[in-house]
A and B are shown apart, each in its own frame.
Chain A
Amino acid sequence: MSQHSLEIRDLHARIVDGETILKGVDLAVPRGEVHALMGPNGSGKSTLAKVMAGDPQYEVTSGDILIDGESVLALEPDERARAGLYLAFQYPVEVPGVSIANFLRLALNARREEGDEIGVMEFYAKLQRAVKALDWDESIIERNLHEGFSGGEKKRSEILQLLVLEPRYAILDETDSGLDVDALKVVAQGVNAARGPEFGALVITHYQRLLNFIVPDRVHVMSAGRIVKEGPKELAMELDTRGYDWVRVEAGLNPVGDPEHAPRAGA
């Protein structure tokens, strides 16, 4: 694949000393594109996101993860982040006593040489732009990281951080889950603000809903730890109406009979 992409090659991974979850994932997101990763519950989407970010709960048994042609497999999570990768968490943690502003300044400075720390004015200007892009109140930056945040506020914070840290590649792990349509629009607005030729994203979602607002360039479908289908954005719509079982059957897997994704009446 090209030098300018986030690439996963035949990736196998398991919970440390436990069950194997990823069984040969192949996927590439070229810079400048936004791809969707869809699939039924338990297919391994969130595991893939965490493995890419370097979550120590998982171990890679074979395959590779590359950022712009360089393997990041041997890198610590923070080194991967500094290499340009960003994960928007499905369940962002709380860090009491640490304000968003303070934290983001540290995170930005971790990307810079000692002695070349970001100026206070420059930092606040950047932070304010991001806050505005998400129609948020400025006071949010003085609040402690996710302490007392609603589910929707946490998701919004993940996108705020994305806008401030300006990664080359972002993985959004079910950022839409638990959001009402207004919150969804705001989050999408943030991601769309980040879109551009220097930014690639993998948007993981269970539903097609989010993809109405963040229109993907391509759609990958995951099932049982592998990518089982790829297609243009229309594929998302098809999955929404038909569910995932047909894809599984196509891929030679047993249908899971997920009632949530059973074909709708009349469809």
Chain B
Amino acid sequence: MADSMPQDAHPDAAKLEGMAHTDQYGFHLSENYAFRSEKGLSRRVVEQISYHKNEPAWMLQFRLRALEIAEKKGRPKWGPDLSHLNFDEIYFYIRPQDKKGTNSWDDVPEEVRETYRRLGIPEAEQKMLAGVGAQYESEMVYHNLKEVWERKGVIFLDSDTGLQQHPELFKEHFATVIPPEDNYFAAVNSAVWSGGSFVYVPAGVEIDVPLQAYFLINAQSMGQFERTLIIAEPGSKFHYIEGCTAPTYNSDSFHSGVIEIIVKERANVRYSTIQNWSHNVYNLVTQRAIVHRRASMGWLDGNLGSKVTMKYPSTYLVGEGAHGEVLSIAFATDGQHQDAGAKVIHAAPNTTSSVVSKSISKGTGRSSYRGLVQIHDGATNARSNVECDALLLDDKAKTDTYPYIEINEKTAHVGHEATVSKLNDEQIFYLQSRGLPADAAMALIVRGFLDPVAKELPLEYAVELNRLIELEMEGSVG
């Protein structure tokens, strides 16, 4: 029925009838939009997005320039197969409601609120979070920061509102970490970005509970282009968590985020994502942090869902003594390709980094570790250690490792260790001989394999990870 809509109708006229569907998460929602762009990526779509957001002229110019860059660049010629990702079939912008994002759950449309309620989000906010953002399709529908942090000058808004309310601060930092020239998908995101979080933490402010954003795609054939900008002023400290989910449809959707983080002197930022997209989402994300003197950046990157993921959190250590850390977990089951990893650039003396990657492949799933450690000339006494372990659960499953190491400094210390193991029949028999059924034995081995990374997870994600492992192991015994 969507196709019967006049594609060039006035934006606000495009009110769509609901399409009911059920899915693995049990939501049963209709697609009800204030506006949906025509399918495909074009100058017209970019202009519509900018129009709807009532943006300053410079942003529209930026978007159009990014579109040109994307068209010139073309898709990457390496990495997973993206040939089935057809932009002409994708809606690049869907505005779920007329009203802008709100800081009260009561103002969120009932059906959207219900979805977040099922994910346990309002409860989590009250119990253990400093602030929550919730993005539904292209727009953040909810954003709230506890007053105590607001009083200390913390800003936690959706990026569109961030641009409106803090134009100078936004413009000063926006696209400085990841310019549209960086890569094709960053250029696409720059052209059509919508939503995402804008976080600003003033100097010396330490937030002791996490800020969290949830991204949800409900529509079919949807492209979601979150744009997150995080600014940590000197000496600040906080943890930002992002969760992603989508129901299952027959047609593919597309999430392509750009996350820019600026970690100023002695600041300490942790950024955690666990994506559990349904298995028809292409998840192609660029996330990068610039880390200044004595500052520290930690990434936790969990890739459990999606059809294809390409994501390599990168850390540019530009100030003396800066530290970067990446913990990466990937789980690829039938039909999934998790192409994950990390990039660490040591561009200053006495910088340190560590990367630990744990991947699991099952059935026709494939997980790849793609990593780069680069030590610049003059980055004296830089130290980096990379450890990547892959576990294959059966004979069909695949894993590959692409570790790139470029050292241009004699005093550097770089360690790299990679292991591949197969789920071991002897281990299963041993655990069975103690009374554990075969599927429980396998789940225990997998949990043990992930343990060094899982320990670092926020509790709710650790629980979710366990649930997922058990689910995947059920019925996997011949």
A and B from one complex:
yes
Given that A96-B449, A97-B452, A98-B447 are known contacts, is A110 also in contact with B436, CB under 8 Å in the complex? yes
In angstroms, how far is the closest chain B Cβ from the Cβ of A30? 23
The segment out of B260-268, B328-336, B342-350, B420-428 that lies at the interface is B420-428
Cβ of B430 under 8 Å from chain A: yes
Chain A: CB-nearest residue to B427: A93
Is chain B's interface secondary structure helix, strand, loop, or mixed overall? helix
A93 touches B435 (CB 8 A): no
CB neighbours of B425 from chain A (8 A): 56-57
8 residue pairs from A and B, CB less than 8 Å apart:
A78-B441, A81-B434, A95-B427, A106-B444, A110-B434, A110-B437, A110-B440, A165-B435
Chain A CB within 8 A of B432 CB? yes
Partner of A81, one of B435, B440, B445: B435
Mark each residue of chain B from 354 to 366: 1 if its CB lies under 8 Å from any CB of chain A, else 0. 0000000000000
A134 part of interface (Cβ distance < 8 Å): no
Interface flags for B430-456 (1: CB within 8 Å of A; 0: not) read 111111111011001101111110000
Q: Which of A151-199 contact B (CB under 8 A)?
A: 161, 165
Give the CA-CA distance A107 to B432 in the complex, in Å.
9
**B452 CB contacts on chain A under 8 angstroms:** 97
Contact A97 B450 (CB under 8 A): yes
> How many Å lie between the Cα of A57 and that of B426 in the bound state?
9
Q: Residue A207 at the B interface, CB < 8 A?
A: no
Q: Among the listed B432, B445, B448, B449, which residue makes an inter-chain contact with A78, where contact means beta carbons less than 8 Å apart?
A: B432
Q: Taking the nearest CB of chain A, how far is it from the CB of B446, in angstroms? A: 9
Partner of A165 from the list B427, B434, B444 (CB cut-off 8 Å) is: B434
> Residue of B at shortest CB range from A56?
B429
**Cross-chain contact A87 with B433 (CB below 8 angstroms):** yes
Contact A55 B429, beta carbon cutoff 8 Å: yes
Known: A77-B429, A106-B440. A95 touches B434 (CB 8 A): no
A103 within 8 A of B: yes
The answer for the CA separation of A139 and B161 in the assembled complex, in Å, is: 53
Output the nearest chain B residue to A144 by Cβ-Cβ distance: B448
Residues of B within 8 A of A76 (CB): 432, 437-438
Complex-state Cα separation, A170 to B450, whole angstroms: 32
Please tell me if the beta carbons of B432 and A103 are within 8 angstroms of each other in the complex. Answer: no
C-beta contact mask, B266-277 vs A, less than 8 Å → 1, else 0? 000000000000
- Give the residue name and chain of the A residue nearest to B443 (CB): A106
Residues of A within 8 A of B (CB): 53-57, 76-78, 80-82, 86-87, 89, 92-93, 95-98, 103, 106-108, 110-111, 144-145, 161, 165
A89 touches B448 (CB 8 A): no
Name the distance in Å between A169's Cβ and chain B's nearest Cβ.
13
Note all chain A residues with C-beta closer than 8 A to B449.
96-97
- CB < 8 Å neighbour of B426 from A80, A82, A93: A93
Given contacts A54-B429, A77-B432, A144-B448, 4 further A-B pairs with CB under 8 A are: A57-B425, A97-B449, A103-B431, A110-B436
- Bound Cα distance from A57 to B430, whole angstroms: 12
The residues of B that contact A107 with a CB separation of less than 8 Å are 431, 434-436
Q: Which residues of A have CB within 8 Å of B451?
A: 96-98
Residue of B nearest to A146 (CB): B430
B426 CB contacts on chain A under 8 angstroms: 93
What is the distance, in angstroms, from A160's C-beta to the closest C-beta of chain B? 12
CB distance from A92 to the nearest CB of B (A): 7
| Contact in complex: B430, A95 (CB < 8 Å) | yes
Which residues of A sit under 8 angstroms from B441, Cβ to Cβ?
A: 78
In the assembled complex, the Cα of A110 lies from the Cα of B433 at a distance in Å of: 11
CA distance A86 to B438 in the complex (A): 16
In the complex, which residue of chain B has the Cβ closest to the Cβ of A92? Answer: B430
Q: Which residues of B contact A96 (CB under 8 A)?
A: 448-449, 451
The CA of A182 and the CA of B238, in the complex, are separated in Å by 53
Question: Within 8 Å CB of B432, what residues of A?
Answer: 54, 76-78, 81
Q: Chain A residues with Cβ under 8 A from B436's Cβ?
A: 78, 106-107, 110
Contact across chains for A161 and B447 when beta carbons are under 8 A apart: no
Judge whether A95 and B448 touch: CB under 8 Å: yes
Minimal Cβ-Cβ distance residue in B for A96: B448
Question: What's the least CB distance linking B183 to chain A, in Å?
Answer: 35
Min CB gap A122→B, angstroms: 17
B438 & A97 in contact (Cβ 8 Å cutoff): no
A78 touches B433 (CB 8 A): yes
B393 to chain A, nearest CB (A): 15
Most-contacted residue by chain B among A78, A80, A87 (CB, 10 A): A78
- A97, B434: Cβ atoms closer than 8 Å: no
Between B425, B436, B440, B449, the greatest number of chain A beta carbons within 10 A of the residue's beta carbon is seen for B436
A116 to B295, CA, bound (A): 49
Q: Is the CB of A95 within 8 A of B445?
A: yes
User: Given A56-B425, A93-B426, A106-B440, A98–B435 Cβ distance below 8 Å?
Assistant: no
Given known A-B contacts A93-B426, A93-B427, A97-B450, A103 and B433 have beta carbons under 8 A apart: no
**Is the pair A97, B437 in contact by a Cβ cutoff of 8 Å?**
no
Residues on A with beta carbons closer than 8 Å to the beta carbon of B427: 93, 95
A37 to chain B, nearest CB (A): 18
Within 8 Å CB of B430, what residues of A?
89, 92-93, 95
Whether A81 contacts B433 by the Cβ 8 Å rule is yes
Interface string of B61-87 (1 = CB under 8 A from A): 000000000000000000000000000
Query: A146 → chain B, closest Cβ, in Å?
Result: 9
Best-buried of B430, B438, B444, B451 by chain A (most CB within 10 Å): B430
Contact of A95 among B431, B435, B450 (CB under 8 A): B431
Residues of B with C-beta under 8 A to A81: 432-435
- Chain A residue with Cβ nearest B477: A76
Which partner residue on chain B sits nearest A167 by CB separation?
Answer: B435
Interface residues of B in 347-388 (CB under 8 A from A): none
Q: With A56-B429, A97-B451, A98-B448 in contact, do A161 and B434 touch (Cβ < 8 Å)?
A: yes
Q: Considering only CB atoms, which chain B residue lies closest to A104 in the complex?
A: B434
Give chain B nearest CB distance to A138 CB in angstroms: 21
Tell me whether A54 and B433 are in contact (CB under 8 A).
Answer: yes
A103 to B443, CA, bound (A): 12
Instruction: Assess the A111–B448 pair: CB atoms within 8 A.
Output: no
Instruction: Give A213 Cβ to nearest chain B Cβ, in Å.
Output: 25
| Cα of A93 to Cα of B436 in the assembled complex, Å | 15
Q: How far is the CB of B390 from chain A (nearest CB, A)?
A: 14
Q: How far is the CA of A70 from the CA of B309 in the complex (A)?
A: 52
